[in-house]
Amino acid sequence: MQCEFKLPNGKEVITREFLFKDTRQFFHESSPEHNLNRLEDFIITENLNVVEKFITLLYLRERCLKKTFNININGTDKDVGIDLVIKNFDEIIDIREEKEVGDLKLVLDYPSKFLVNTNNIFSLIKEIKIGNDFIDLSNVSDQELIDITNNLPTDVSKVIDQFIKKNHHALEYNLIPNNSDYEINFLNSSPFYFLQNILSFHQ
Protein backbone atom coordinates (compact mmCIF):
# COMPACT_ATOMS: atom_id res chain seq x y z
CA MET A 1 0.00 0.00 0.00
CA GLN A 2 1.14 3.52 -0.76
CA CYS A 3 0.54 6.83 1.03
CA GLU A 4 0.22 10.22 -0.62
CA PHE A 5 0.97 13.58 0.99
CA LYS A 6 1.02 17.20 -0.09
CA LEU A 7 3.91 19.29 1.24
CA PRO A 8 3.64 22.97 2.26
CA ASN A 9 5.32 24.00 -1.01
CA GLY A 10 2.65 22.18 -3.02
CA LYS A 11 4.71 19.13 -3.97
CA GLU A 12 2.86 15.84 -3.91
CA VAL A 13 4.87 12.91 -2.57
CA ILE A 14 4.29 9.17 -2.46
CA THR A 15 5.68 6.78 0.14
CA ARG A 16 5.42 3.17 1.07
CA GLU A 17 3.23 2.44 4.07
CA PHE A 18 5.04 2.22 7.41
CA LEU A 19 3.83 -0.75 9.46
CA PHE A 20 4.27 -1.70 13.12
CA LYS A 21 6.57 -4.51 12.06
CA ASP A 22 8.87 -1.87 10.61
CA THR A 23 9.23 -0.22 14.02
CA ARG A 24 10.54 -3.52 15.40
CA GLN A 25 12.81 -4.37 12.49
CA PHE A 26 13.79 -0.95 11.24
CA PHE A 27 16.48 0.04 13.69
CA HIS A 28 17.28 -3.31 15.29
CA GLU A 29 21.03 -3.62 15.80
CA SER A 30 21.87 -1.86 12.54
CA SER A 31 24.39 0.85 11.73
CA PRO A 32 23.12 4.43 11.33
CA GLU A 33 24.07 4.29 7.64
CA HIS A 34 21.98 1.16 7.14
CA ASN A 35 19.05 2.68 9.03
CA LEU A 36 19.27 5.83 6.94
CA ASN A 37 19.10 3.86 3.69
CA ARG A 38 16.05 1.96 4.91
CA LEU A 39 14.43 5.18 6.07
CA GLU A 40 14.85 6.88 2.70
CA ASP A 41 13.60 3.75 0.92
CA PHE A 42 10.11 4.53 2.23
CA ILE A 43 10.01 7.63 0.03
CA ILE A 44 9.07 6.74 -3.55
CA THR A 45 9.01 10.27 -4.99
CA GLU A 46 12.43 11.26 -6.29
CA ASN A 47 14.44 14.49 -6.24
CA LEU A 48 13.29 15.75 -2.84
CA ASN A 49 15.59 17.82 -0.68
CA VAL A 50 16.28 16.86 2.92
CA VAL A 51 13.65 19.23 4.38
CA GLU A 52 10.98 17.81 2.10
CA LYS A 53 12.03 14.29 3.08
CA PHE A 54 11.91 15.19 6.77
CA ILE A 55 8.38 16.58 6.52
CA THR A 56 7.26 13.60 4.44
CA LEU A 57 8.49 11.16 7.08
CA LEU A 58 6.72 13.15 9.81
CA TYR A 59 3.48 12.85 7.83
CA LEU A 60 4.13 9.13 7.40
CA ARG A 61 4.75 8.65 11.13
CA GLU A 62 1.56 10.55 11.98
CA ARG A 63 -0.62 8.61 9.56
CA CYS A 64 0.73 5.08 9.93
CA LEU A 65 1.79 4.82 13.56
CA LYS A 66 0.60 7.38 16.08
CA LYS A 67 -0.23 11.06 16.12
CA THR A 68 1.91 11.68 19.21
CA PHE A 69 5.37 10.77 20.50
CA ASN A 70 6.75 10.71 24.02
CA ILE A 71 9.41 13.11 25.29
CA ASN A 72 10.89 13.86 28.68
CA ILE A 73 10.53 17.45 29.86
CA ASN A 74 12.16 18.29 33.18
CA GLY A 75 11.95 14.67 34.30
CA THR A 76 8.33 14.19 33.27
CA ASP A 77 7.19 12.08 30.32
CA LYS A 78 4.74 13.88 28.05
CA ASP A 79 3.01 13.06 24.79
CA VAL A 80 3.60 15.64 22.07
CA GLY A 81 1.61 15.79 18.84
CA ILE A 82 3.45 15.28 15.56
CA ASP A 83 1.41 18.22 14.27
CA LEU A 84 3.29 20.50 16.70
CA VAL A 85 6.54 19.56 14.97
CA ILE A 86 5.04 19.86 11.49
CA LYS A 87 3.88 23.43 12.26
CA ASN A 88 7.55 24.48 12.15
CA PHE A 89 7.42 23.82 8.43
CA ASP A 90 4.27 25.67 7.38
CA GLU A 91 6.48 27.22 4.71
CA ILE A 92 9.48 25.67 2.97
CA ILE A 93 11.68 28.65 2.24
CA ASP A 94 13.28 28.75 -1.20
CA ILE A 95 17.02 29.23 -0.55
CA ARG A 96 18.38 28.16 -3.94
CA GLU A 97 21.12 30.48 -5.24
CA GLU A 98 23.70 30.50 -8.01
CA LYS A 99 27.19 31.70 -7.11
CA GLU A 100 30.38 32.18 -9.11
CA VAL A 101 33.80 31.40 -7.65
CA GLY A 102 36.47 32.02 -10.25
CA ASP A 103 35.70 29.72 -13.19
CA LEU A 104 33.21 27.71 -11.14
CA LYS A 105 29.47 28.20 -11.11
CA LEU A 106 27.80 26.72 -8.04
CA VAL A 107 24.14 26.05 -7.32
CA LEU A 108 23.55 26.13 -3.56
CA ASP A 109 20.42 24.67 -2.00
CA TYR A 110 19.19 22.40 0.78
CA PRO A 111 21.11 19.11 1.07
CA SER A 112 19.56 16.24 -0.87
CA LYS A 113 20.43 13.61 1.75
CA PHE A 114 20.28 13.24 5.52
CA LEU A 115 23.69 13.40 7.15
CA VAL A 116 24.80 10.69 9.59
CA ASN A 117 27.79 10.95 11.93
CA THR A 118 29.16 13.94 10.06
CA ASN A 119 28.77 17.68 9.50
CA ASN A 120 29.29 18.64 5.87
CA ILE A 121 28.70 22.16 4.63
CA PHE A 122 29.54 20.99 1.12
CA SER A 123 26.25 19.06 1.07
CA LEU A 124 24.71 22.47 0.25
CA ILE A 125 26.30 22.35 -3.21
CA LYS A 126 23.71 20.91 -5.54
CA GLU A 127 25.51 21.48 -8.84
CA ILE A 128 28.94 22.51 -10.08
CA LYS A 129 29.58 23.88 -13.57
CA ILE A 130 33.10 24.20 -14.94
CA GLY A 131 33.03 25.43 -18.52
CA ASN A 132 30.94 22.86 -20.38
CA ASP A 133 31.24 20.26 -17.62
CA PHE A 134 28.37 19.76 -15.20
CA ILE A 135 28.34 17.74 -11.96
CA ASP A 136 25.10 16.98 -10.11
CA LEU A 137 26.28 16.43 -6.53
CA SER A 138 22.88 15.20 -5.38
CA ASN A 139 23.55 11.95 -7.24
CA VAL A 140 27.08 11.14 -6.08
CA SER A 141 28.16 8.84 -3.26
CA ASP A 142 29.49 10.20 0.03
CA GLN A 143 33.03 9.29 -0.96
CA GLU A 144 32.65 10.92 -4.38
CA LEU A 145 31.38 14.07 -2.69
CA ILE A 146 34.46 14.14 -0.47
CA ASP A 147 36.78 13.56 -3.44
CA ILE A 148 35.16 16.34 -5.47
CA THR A 149 34.93 18.92 -2.69
CA ASN A 150 38.51 18.26 -1.53
CA ASN A 151 39.65 19.70 -4.87
CA LEU A 152 37.59 22.88 -4.72
CA PRO A 153 39.33 26.23 -4.11
CA THR A 154 39.23 27.57 -0.54
CA ASP A 155 37.08 30.52 -1.63
CA VAL A 156 34.18 28.07 -2.06
CA SER A 157 34.12 27.55 1.72
CA LYS A 158 33.80 31.31 2.25
CA VAL A 159 30.86 31.48 -0.17
CA ILE A 160 29.13 28.57 1.57
CA ASP A 161 29.71 30.11 5.01
CA GLN A 162 28.02 33.31 3.83
CA PHE A 163 25.15 31.25 2.39
CA ILE A 164 24.68 29.46 5.73
CA LYS A 165 24.65 32.70 7.71
CA LYS A 166 22.08 34.17 5.34
CA ASN A 167 19.83 31.08 5.48
CA HIS A 168 20.36 29.75 9.00
CA HIS A 169 16.63 30.29 9.74
CA ALA A 170 15.80 27.77 7.00
CA LEU A 171 18.37 25.21 8.14
CA GLU A 172 17.97 25.27 11.92
CA TYR A 173 14.76 24.58 13.84
CA ASN A 174 13.66 24.23 17.45
CA LEU A 175 11.03 21.52 17.02
CA ILE A 176 9.57 21.79 20.54
CA PRO A 177 9.04 25.35 21.83
CA ASN A 178 11.31 26.34 24.72
CA ASN A 179 13.14 23.00 24.66
CA SER A 180 16.71 23.08 23.36
CA ASP A 181 16.91 19.26 23.46
CA TYR A 182 14.87 19.19 20.26
CA GLU A 183 16.87 21.58 18.09
CA ILE A 184 17.84 20.23 14.68
CA ASN A 185 20.17 21.45 11.97
CA PHE A 186 19.96 20.06 8.44
CA LEU A 187 23.74 20.37 8.12
CA ASN A 188 24.33 17.67 10.74
CA SER A 189 22.87 14.34 11.83
CA SER A 190 20.25 15.70 14.26
CA PRO A 191 17.24 15.39 11.85
CA PHE A 192 18.06 11.74 11.19
CA TYR A 193 18.40 10.88 14.87
CA PHE A 194 15.15 12.67 15.69
CA LEU A 195 13.35 10.56 13.09
CA GLN A 196 15.04 7.41 14.29
CA ASN A 197 13.83 8.13 17.80
CA ILE A 198 10.17 8.78 16.96
CA LEU A 199 9.99 5.82 14.57
CA SER A 200 11.38 3.32 17.04
CA PHE A 201 9.01 0.89 18.73
CA HIS A 202 9.04 2.40 22.24
CA GLN A 203 7.58 5.66 20.98
| pLDDT score of 7 | 96
Question: CA-CA distance, 86 to 32, in Å (whole number)?
Answer: 24
Render pLDDT for 15-66 as a digit per residue (tens, 0 to 9): 999 887 776 666 566 788 888 888 899 999 999 999 999 999 999 999 988 8
Whether the per-residue pLDDT at 201 is higher than 60: the answer is no
| pLDDT score of 27 | 57
The rounded percent of the chain whose pLDDT value lies above 90 is: 57
Whether the per-residue pLDDT at 198 is higher than 60: the answer is yes
Domain residue extents for the chain: 2-91+183-199, 97-170
Does residue 198 sit in helix, strand or coil?
A: helix
| Closest listed residue to residue 147, CA positions, set 128, 174, 163, 172 | 128
Question: What is the pTM for the complete model shown?
Answer: 0.91
| pLDDT score of 181 | 82
Render pLDDT for 75-85 as a digit per residue (tens, 0 to 9): 788 888 999 99
Query: Where does residue 101 rank: exposed (0-12), middle (13-18), buried (19+ CB within 10 A)?
Result: middle
| pLDDT score of 90 | 92
